[in-house]
Amino acid sequence: MQNTNAVALAAVLAMITTPLLAEEQKTASLGESNFSYSFVGGYLGRITLDEEINFLGEVYEDFGTAGLNGAVQLADNFAIGAGFGVFANEGNRTEITNSSLNLSLFFPIPIVDRVDLIPQVGFVYNEAEACFDNICATEDDSALAYGVGTRIWVVPGSFEFNAAYSDSDEDNSESTVSLGGALWFREHHSIELNVDRSDSFDAVTVGYRYSL
């Protein structure tokens, strides 16, 4: 994968958006984002592998996944966020677990009314553990992560559509494309459904978010 693609795309979109919108909406680049980026939330889901893993005679085709995330919006066009996630499965004598921690910087840009473009960059740490009869081996790594996303009010205050592209500078990294939607209720609460796709897996998650 060409890891520079997402960074270049985010930079170009952010660069050309400001002058193009200046004539129509002078405050677009510095204006208030269409969504709040101060939130806390969590999710549950399932990851399905394109190719099964055979670990000491036990076959793994999918994993359960769960996570917590949150962010604080410090300015109209800047937010900082963090998240923790884990996916795991076990057989009769074996177990595979992966945990990850990420820190991210978001730069939400209001493109037009109801639509935000969100370049982002951050750091991700992963730790994988494989066990056989309670004898475990672990491996960890870290990487620079980057991407660009969008959030769109389909029905303002009630339903949003979102999409994202993300990658990292890790060796043999795979880019991920995400599509999702959120049903909002009681102003601050939303239920989310997201589908992620990469070259080696599909993931479906359902989550809850409280936005300030």
First and final C-alpha spacing in the chain: 37
The average pLDDT across 165-180 equals 92
In the predicted model, is pLDDT for residue 118 greater than 50? yes
CATH of the domain at 82: 2.40.160.20
Q: With beta carbons less than 8 A apart as the criterion, state whether 32 and 125 touch.
A: no
At 170 the pLDDT is: 84
Q: Which residue segment(s) compose the domain that 195 sits in?
A: 4-211
Detail the DSSP E strand segments found in the chain: 39-55, 58-75, 78-90, 94-106, 109-112, 115-132, 135-155, 159-168, 176-185, 189-197, 201-211
Q: With beta carbons less than 8 A apart as the criterion, state whether 177 and 156 touch.
A: no
In the predicted model, is pLDDT for residue 16 greater than 60? no
Q: With beta carbons less than 8 A apart as the criterion, state whether 44 and 206 touch.
A: yes
Mean pLDDT score of the chain: 88
Task: Determine phi and psi for 16, rounding to 5 degrees.
Answer: -85, -20
Domain count, the chain: 1
46 or 29, which is more confident?
46
